[in-house]
Structure formats: structure tokens, C-alpha cells
Chains A and B, each alone.
Chain A
């Protein structure tokens, strides 16, 4: 239940295949009212009720923030993940009633910026769909650099180029096109903010270069939802609630805690927001940290874990939950 996760009862109003890997889903409110206002970069957590199992995955809203009659998300199919995207692709049809969270924005534009420089990789394009709509409506100054594997997998590249012309620059891996990142970062006017969303490797590369080239950290914004990775099952003791539970190989630690009837706070379920940060009371084994929230020092200390994305291997783990 949890902080900021008021729920919205919605119905799937459309399902649109975009390319071989990506499908777009449209949601409207079941009561016909307008959906809550959101800002570019916001995400919702979608509840996927799949038999007796419920998955909760975050997806960026990609529609224009100026239109709240419907929310749209784009889901890239992941054939080796824990099944959330496969459920969306296979089971979700127009007319299905679903529950989603209120929108939360952990990747918002800094509107004090003189210019917004956006770097997208693959499906990381989705928050920029909403942000560019928001900025274009307000006459904002932006430039979008979008890397995709092939032209046919360049999700929404055609739409973006049609809308914004040469403010959008495409780079295709199969044509060996690469961003000249150092040159791009060094030629931006003072007061530019940088936004990056894509694979972890891309985010780290961009953050490292930006820091080295003198971009203050306040001007560098990034979002990477770490999908919880499957792994070996493990047991965990919840000291506060006095329960010992098992975490299945396809289940996240947070999902297992919730399945046991314990209700920790959460917001993004992707290792970004910090809400579900949990203290470790004792452990004998090794943590597999996958979040972007805790510091490296926190990771080494063995005192904290983000149960939404991180796992554990070893003999025993006791959490303050």
C-alpha cells in the first residue's frame, strides 16, 4: 500500500503493436473521468494479475502530459525476464480491467534549464516522448539524441522526427553510427541540463563523461529501472513481523515480503526511488545488489538492501521488517 501508491481503476482502451519487440497500451479510467495530471518523465506501476501471482512493474508514461484522457505506456518484450512484459504482450487485450498506481516522477525536467539535452537508448525513449511533448507545448529548447539497434527497432523514431525535425538525431548500431559524446557535451551552452535513459552501460558512460567534462551533478539526470532479476531461491527472516519466508527464483524479495502479508513502503519497484530501503539485522552470505539508490559504501556495509531489485545468496538473512 504504501507511500504515494494510491490506485487507479482503469480499463485497457487500446493495444497497438509498434514493432517486433514493442507494444503500446492505452488506459482510460473506468469511471470515464480524466486521469490525474502528470509531468514528463513520470511512471506508473502496473499491477499484473496473472493467476494467483501479482507482478508490479513500473513503466514510463509516454503520452502528452497535456492530454489526461488516457495514459499510454510502451512495453518492450523481454523473453528471458521474469514474465511481466510477456504477460503484457500475451494476456492484456482491449477491455481488460487493470489497476495502476498514481503517476510518480523520479525523472522530471528541471525547468530552470536554458536547454534540455536528451540521450535515449532503445526503449529508454519512452519518458522522452512525454517530456518532448511537454517542452514543445511550452516552446522549450531541447535536443534529442536517440540510439537504437536498427531502424525497424527505432521505436517512435519516425514519430519524433516528424514532430521535431532536426531537433531529433538518430544513431543506428547496425550502421555503426555512434554519438560523438565528448564533442556533444562540450558544445552545449551554459545552463544546459542533461537527461539520459537507456541501458545501464549507456547511463554509466554518459554520467562518467559528463562528470569528467565538468558537468555539475545537479545538471545530469538519469533513470534506469532495474527490472528485478531472477535468481536462486533463498530464505529470509522478517524480524519485526516474526516470519520466515522463502523467496522464489522468479520472485523479487519485495514481492515475497508482500506475499507474506507484510506491507513495506514502495514507489518505483525499480531500485531508484529509495522508498523500500530495508535495514539488515544480520546475514551470512552474499548480497546481489542491483539498485541505483544505495551508495557503494552502503552496498559494501551489508547493513541495507533494496528488496525491490536486490537478492541474496547464502545461509541466513534477517531483515528489519
Chain B
């Protein structure tokens, strides 16, 4: 569970059914369980107006549990990047009364929120629930490259190769934590890399 450290570090809640005409769920991996857990609290017919977008990952778990909720649509994209054009299209055509629910890894929640923010939805208007890995999406503040699924502290920038301190400083605009060179003064200093975000 993510702990609040500094003000920009996102914290996540527990999905709960909101009043609305349409409901869009975006989830990956264990995020499916946040949806099925919430389903118990939802009023009858809630999923008749719901679209669930679920990125199952390699193991392909939880699909049957989501099918059992009988949402109006269940969409299973192979990756988040491949989902983005369709998601943008959905939001462009949507009306007020659509509610957004994001569940799963921080990387998924942050990137889906980034697309929804561009569509004019306030981040506080979205329901979020973190499930699964604590791996971080990190931006190197030096070369601006993004490194996905960072689990260590410090971590190597996958673009420029600098050794970065993964900060709690988070950017909603970029959907990434900020990584800052940890040995800028003396590049021969190499603090041990530890598993910090399992």
C-alpha cells in the first residue's frame, strides 16, 4: 500500500460505485479484483451501463470473473499503449455522467488518469484503487526518458544509463515519478541497488 510522504505522491482509495449514467473501468492485473470486490456493493443493474477495459497481462487471469459481472462491454487490449487511441475516442464522445474507475498498478492508474485529465476530468473526480505491484513508472529528469516497471532504489535510466534516485515526487501530467542522478558529484560512487518497489 502506498504511503503518503510528500504532497505530490498519489494515494489511492477503494473503488466504490458512484452515481452516474455510464461507468468506465480501466484495470490491469490484480486490479480486476478491485472491480469484483466493488461489485458486491453496486446496485442492481449497475454493470448494464458499464464498460470494463482490462489488460490481463501474460497470465490472462481474472477474465472469467469480469465476464461474470455482465458489463455492457468487456474490452481486453494487449497493452496500455495500444489502448490509448480507443480510450481517447471513447472520452471524446462521452457526456457528463460518465464516471471513471482505475484499478491495478500505479503505472496503469497514472497513465489512464493522464488521458482522462486531457479529456477535462479532474483527478479528484476519479475512483482509484491500487492493487498488485508497487513498480514505478519513472522519468529521468536529465534525459526525460521514461523507464517502466522500476522496482529498485536506486535505478538505472533505461535511456541515458545514469544511476537515479527514484523520488516520491510524482507528476500527474507525465504520469511518472521523478528520477534524479544519485551520484552526480562522484560518478564512481555506486550505492547498492535494493529491491524497493516489489
Contacts and interface: CB of A to CB of B under 8 A. Distances in A.
Interface of A: 112-114, 185-192, 211-216, 218-219
B19 interface: yes
Given A185-B96, A214-B98, A190 B21 contact: no
Given A214-B98, A216-B124, A216-B125, 19 more contacts: A114-B120, A185-B96, A188-B96, A189-B94, A189-B96, A190-B95, A190-B98, A190-B119, A191-B119, A191-B120, A192-B96, A192-B120, A214-B22, A215-B96, A216-B99, A216-B122, A218-B122, A219-B122, A219-B125
Given A188-B96, A189-B96, A190-B94, A214 B18 contact: yes
B39 interface: no
Interface of B: 18-22, 91-92, 94-99, 119-122, 124-125
18 contacts: A113-B120, A186-B96, A186-B97, A189-B94, A189-B95, A189-B96, A191-B119, A192-B120, A213-B19, A213-B20, A213-B96, A213-B97, A214-B99, A215-B96, A215-B97, A218-B124, A219-B96, A219-B125
Given A186-B95, A214-B99, A215-B96, A191 B19 contact: no
A212 B120 contact: no
B120 A185 contact: no
B102 to A, nearest CB: 14
B122 A188 contact: no
Contact of A188 (B95, B119, B124): B95
A263 to B, nearest CB: 34
A213 B92 CA distance: 19
Contacts of B21: 186, 213-214
Contacts of A218: 122, 124-125
B122 A214 contact: no
Nearest to A211: B19
B14 to A, nearest CB: 17
Contacts, number: 60
B26 to A, nearest CB: 15
B16 to A, nearest CB: 13
A190 B121 contact: yes
Contacts of B95: 186-190
Contacts of A212: 19
Contacts of B20: 213-214
A171 B44 CA distance: 37
A211 B96 CA distance: 11
B91 to A, nearest CB: 6
A185 B124 contact: no
Contacts of A192: 96, 120
Nearest to A217: B125
B151 to A, nearest CB: 34
Nearest to B98: A190
Contacts of B124: 216, 218
Contacts of B98: 190, 214
A140 B97 CA distance: 22
A218 B98 CA distance: 14
Contact of B97 (A112, A114, A185): A185
A117 B131 CA distance: 37
Contacts of A213: 19-21, 96-97
B91 A190 contact: yes
A214 B120 contact: no
A259 B141 CA distance: 58
Contacts of A188: 95-96
A219 B99 CA distance: 13
A219 to B, nearest CB: 7
Nearest to B118: A191
Contacts of A114: 119-120
Given A213-B21, A214-B20, A190 B125 contact: no
B121 A191 contact: yes
Contacts of A187: 95
A186 B91 CA distance: 15
